[in-house]
Amino acid sequence: MGHTTWRPSAAPPVLRARAKMLAEIRAYFARAGVMEVETPLCSRASGTDPALEPLRTRYTGPGAPTGEVLYLQTSPEFSMKRLIAAGSGPIYQICKAFRDGERGALHNPEFSLLEWYRPGFDHHRLMDEVADLVRVVMGRRLPLRKLTYAEAFSPLGIDPHTATAADLKERARVLGMAEAEHLELDAADPWLDLLFTGYIECALGRGDLCLVYDYPASKASLARVRSGVPAVAERFELYIDGVELANGFHELADAGEQQERFRRELAQRALNGRSLPAIDQNLLAALEAGLPDCSGVAIGLDRLLMVLLGKPRIDQVLAFPLERA
Amino acid sequence: MASYSTNEFKGGLKVLVDGDPCSIIENEFVKPGKGQAFNRVKLRNLKTGRVVERTFKSGESLEAADVVETELQYLYNDGSHWHFMDQKTFEQYSADENALGESAKWLKDQDLCTVTLWNGTPLLVDPPNFVVLTISETDPGVKGDTSGGGGKPATLETGAVVRVPLFVQEGEAIKVDTRTGAYVSRAKED
């Protein structure tokens, strides 16, 4: 094994396709007047998303004689919002993000992200731009299909905004998931994730660009919540060929609400036995100073390349996935 | 009892699911960007042979199944059970009909079989890939008779029925591939 792992797992044409994709993205944003930026990959604070585990490293030297923990970013979101709050105008970044514990056909713990922010855009306007960019990169005018999270669930006869964990467990059992009996999922959200990944996702984006939007408020993450019945998170995801490619938000700008979400997420992390990273006080200060109304989105570039080339495994588009790194 | 977390799942791992020993065939990591991670696993139930798909929460653990494959010598059948012996330890094992299945029809005493043991009890018995058995009954082949597609059925000493070429006669020993049930050749006299 050792003597073959020096070779890249992506074939030469794939490496060329990646270079071309990156050039097209940069040209697209140059035309659109969106500025490319760079922000730190290593920070003293990290996101608190209960479903994400950051990788950690350590800096020792001037300013930190006994060493300090630095988190490798799970996404560049917080730094980029600080730039927006500081008046940067529309910006994009192509960078690496890192997530511990994630490895599979669609996951590598280190992966490439394209993230961009549009002051003055709501999530619908940004969804249209996402579709436009993806069409340019794919060189194909795939039709656009938008459906709400609730509409995505309707084939299963589930209302994701009102269903309880018990309802969803029963639904999973009826759908033939024998293990529903034994799975210990403590809330409706993980049951929705189970049903979505098991029964819905694979049918999305077959022959079109499928954008799912307006998530249950409990899945808001960093999106603003629009009050109403039901209240919905102004969040969206892009699917092509059954693969989740992008996640976007009409960004939460309220510092108090953000602080409250940090607190709630850290409590959830403590319950799940996850690490408890420091809250990003710089982000809170930036929101306090004033984040312009904006929407932002991150696209997984490795997955976009997979879809572009019809490759089912992320290893086929990475020069050196985890095992060869 | 040892257990394996989802991070240790891989093809061939033997685990207990609903109390039954299973072998992992495929393990797929599934995770929404902002949500719960799962492992979607294909398993073969080693008792029934059936393939099932199960989803586990990533980080969950399954108890390890004490399943080992070992080579045992077939001794005899007492009418309801088949008896085997470990040639090194001389320990004896008895297997029931479920463990034998189709394998029963190939077994002749002294044969070395691959036996899958679960907690020390035979779960599966695989006969040797090739066995030599004597034909106890077959029609005398008539040259030029093509009605059987160039062959004829022959009943072997163990009761198994295989198709043999017309020139093979009763009382002869033949070599059979137990994986396909196909005649290979006449056994060389030695």
Residue located via tokens 């004689």: A65
User: Quick check: B34 and A244 CB within 8 A?
Assistant: no
In DSSP terms, B31 is beta-bridged to none
* Closest chain B CA to residue A180: B55
Number of domains in chain A: 1
pLDDT tens, A199-249?
999 999 999 999 999 999 999 999 999 999 999 999 999 999 999 999 999
Q: What is the pLDDT of residue B48?
A: 87
Question: Does the residue A131 lie in any domain?
Answer: yes
Min Cα separation A103/chain B (Å): 7
Question: Does the residue A174 lie in any domain?
Answer: no
**Contact residues on chain A for B31, CB-CB shorter than 8 A:** 51, 102, 104, 107, 197
* Closest chain B CA to residue A243: B32
The DSSP secondary-structure symbol of A48 reads: -
Q: What is the pLDDT of residue B33?
A: 86
Helices (H), A154-221: 165-174, 188-195
CA distances from A53 to A101, A153, A272, B6 (A): 7, 28, 11, 16
> Domain of A215: which CATH number?
3.30.930.10
Lookup: tokens for B91: 């320990």
Interface membership of A229 toward B (CB under 8 Å): no
Interface membership of A193 toward B (CB under 8 Å): yes
Min Cα separation B34/chain A (Å): 6
User: Quick check: A193 and B35 CB within 8 A?
Assistant: yes
pLDDT tens, B123-140?
999 999 999 999 999 988
**Which of A107, A183, A198 faces B57 most closely, judged by CB atoms?**
A183
Residue B144: exposure state from Cβ atoms within 10 A (0-12, 13-18, ≥19) = exposed
> How many CB atoms are located within 10 Å of the residue A273 CB?
7
Question: Does the residue A176 lie in any domain?
Answer: no
**What's the CA gap between B95 and B92, in Å, rounded?**
10
Lookup: tokens for B162: 């295989």
Interface membership of A302 toward B (CB under 8 Å): no
Amino acid making up residue B8? E
> How many CB atoms are located within 10 Å of the residue A235 CB?
27
User: Quick check: A104 and B36 CB within 8 A?
Assistant: no
User: Quick check: B32 and A244 CB within 8 A?
Assistant: yes
Question: Does the residue A109 lie in any domain?
Answer: yes
Q: Between B1 and A202, whose confidence is greater?
A: A202
Interface membership of B50 toward A (CB under 8 Å): no
Query: Which of B58, B40, B42 is CA-nearest to residue B4?
Result: B58
pLDDT tens, A136-183?
999 999 999 999 999 999 999 999 999 999 999 999 999 988 788 888
User: Quick check: A105 and B28 CB within 8 A?
Assistant: yes
Q: What is the DSSP string of B55-97?
A: EEETT-EEEBP-EEEEEEEEEEE-SS-EEEE-TTT--EEEE-H
Question: Does the residue A94 lie in any domain?
Answer: yes
pLDDT tens, A100-140?
999 999 999 999 999 999 999 999 999 999 999 999 999 99
- Provide the domain limits for residue A62: 12-143+207-324
Q: Is A123 in contact with A222 (CB distance < 8 Å)?
A: no
Query: Which of A284, A297, A279 is CA-nearest to residue A43?
Result: A279
Average per-residue pLDDT for chain A: 96
Interface membership of B57 toward A (CB under 8 Å): yes
**Contact residues on chain A for B29, CB-CB shorter than 8 A:** 102-107
**Residues 6 or more apart from B15 whose CB is under 8 A from it?**
B4, B21, B22, B24, B43, B62, B63, B64, B65
Interface membership of A251 toward B (CB under 8 Å): no
**What's the CA gap between A81 and A323, in Å, rounded?**
34
**What's the CA gap between A241 and A99, in Å, rounded?**
24
Q: Is B37 in contact with A51 (CB distance < 8 Å)?
A: yes
Q: What is the pLDDT of residue B146?
A: 55
**Global pTM value:** 0.86
User: Quick check: A51 and B56 CB within 8 A?
Assistant: no
User: Quick check: B40 and A198 CB within 8 A?
Assistant: yes
Interface membership of A135 toward B (CB under 8 Å): no
**What's the CA gap between B162 and B164, in Å, rounded?**
6
Question: Does the residue A283 lie in any domain?
Answer: yes
User: Quick check: A102 and B56 CB within 8 A?
Assistant: no
Query: Which of A7, A52, A20 is CA-nearest to residue A304?
Result: A20
pLDDT tens, A37-86?
999 999 999 999 999 999 999 999 999 999 999 999 999 999 999 999 99
User: Quick check: A51 and B37 CB within 8 A?
Assistant: yes
Question: Does the residue A5 lie in any domain?
Answer: no
Interface membership of A181 toward B (CB under 8 Å): no
Question: Does the residue A165 lie in any domain?
Answer: no
The DSSP secondary-structure symbol of A159 reads: -
In the three-class reduction of DSSP (H, G, I as helix; E, B as strand; rest coil), residue A243 is classed as strand
User: Quick check: A190 and B35 CB within 8 A?
Assistant: yes
| Complex ipTM value | 0.89
Query: Which of A245, A298, A197 is CA-nearest to residue B30?
Result: A197
